[in-house]
A and B are shown apart, each in its own frame.
Chain A
Amino acid sequence: MKDVYAWSAIGLIVLASSTGDVLLSYSMKRVGDVGELWKRRGVLPVIGRVLATPTFALGLMAMAVAFYSLLFGLSWGNLSLVVPASASLTFVANAVAARIFLHERVGRRRWIAALLVAGGVVLMAV
């Protein structure tokens, strides 16, 4: 039964953190190149514009959900299961989500890389 809880926490972490990453990435693409904007307008307008993007706040909330799911997951499951499983599944989920929602070109190179990193993260925790 504990396993079911741990894996549902892992599922929630992966869902929430990839939702957060996609929303934050979407927001920052709408803001535009921060470095260039900083040069042209100064730092405060850049921060103001980021904070004024509604999807940015949603992204932060999703990240907070992911963080609390991690805390709960850690109280139900082992550190050595929850952290690597959620981290590596998040890499794969993000590649899928970035392709579908952000229309990024995830070619063979990036797929292989996502799988290599996901596998590597699992091995580091063994």
Chain B
Amino acid sequence: MTFRKYLVLAGITVFSTAGDSLLARGMKDLGSVSLHNLPGLLLAILNPWVAAGILLLLAFFSCYMSALSWADLTYVLPATSLGYVLVALIAHFIFHEEISPTRWLGITLIAAGVGLVAAGPSATPDHQRQSSQDAPRDAVSVEVKS
């Protein structure tokens, strides 16, 4: 794990959280959109909050795909759950919202889970997999993997 890879994992957490928040903020302007009003859903993209949210979610998806290219799914996933913690901490320390003891316990459990995974190995070595199906398919990938 290099510094650049940790940055990508941080990108997953930050971009997904910020993207979701911007989308939620934008959808508030639009009110409830029913499934019968699909053109309304398309026009939602014109709302600047929604547009910015979609851009950030694209950034999230790129980081997520990049991380999956060098780390196990079971390693990357907990990184996405750190977003819940991030939102709660921002709500508490910046917007001074009350956080119930149950939520603090939830935050602690998620953080502990993420810490456990992050302290372990990030990828299953190829020789420990049971099949070779997952082997990269061309010379560059073989070169990159080794």
Contact = CB atoms under 8 A, between A and B. Distances in A.
Interface of A: 21-22, 24-26, 28-37, 40-41, 50, 71, 87, 91, 94-95, 98-99, 102-107, 109-110, 112-117, 119-126
Nearest to B112: A116
A116 B140 contact: no
B117 interface: yes
Interface in B116-146: 116-117, 119-120, 124, 128-131, 134, 136-137, 140-141, 144-145
Contact of A126 (B70, B103, B108, B120): B103
B44 interface: no
B113 A120 contact: yes
Contacts of A121: 81, 84, 106, 110
B113 A116 contact: yes
Interface in B66-114: 66, 68-70, 72-78, 81, 84, 88, 100, 102-103, 105-114
Interface centre among B124, B129, B145 (most CB of A within 10 A): B124
B108 A33 contact: no
Nearest to A45: B140
Contact of B68 (A29, A37, A95, A114): A29
Given A95-B74, A116-B110, 16 more contacts: A25-B72, A25-B73, A29-B69, A30-B136, A32-B69, A33-B144, A71-B35, A94-B74, A105-B128, A116-B109, A117-B109, A120-B84, A121-B110, A123-B105, A124-B107, A126-B103
Contacts, number: 153
Contacts of B72: 25, 98, 102, 104-105
Contacts of B70: 33-35
Contacts of B8: 35
Contacts of A105: 72, 124, 128
Interface of A is mostly: helix
Nearest to A96: B74
B28 interface: no
A92 to B, nearest CB: 11
B140 A41 contact: yes
Contact of B77 (A29, A40, A94): A94
B77 to A, nearest CB: 6
A124 B82 CA distance: 12
B4 interface: yes
B65 interface: yes
Contact of A103 (B69, B113, B131): B131
23 contacts: A25-B73, A30-B137, A30-B141, A32-B69, A33-B145, A34-B66, A35-B5, A35-B69, A35-B70, A91-B81, A94-B73, A94-B74, A109-B119, A112-B116, A113-B78, A116-B113, A117-B114, A120-B107, A120-B108, A123-B109, A124-B88, A124-B107, A126-B106
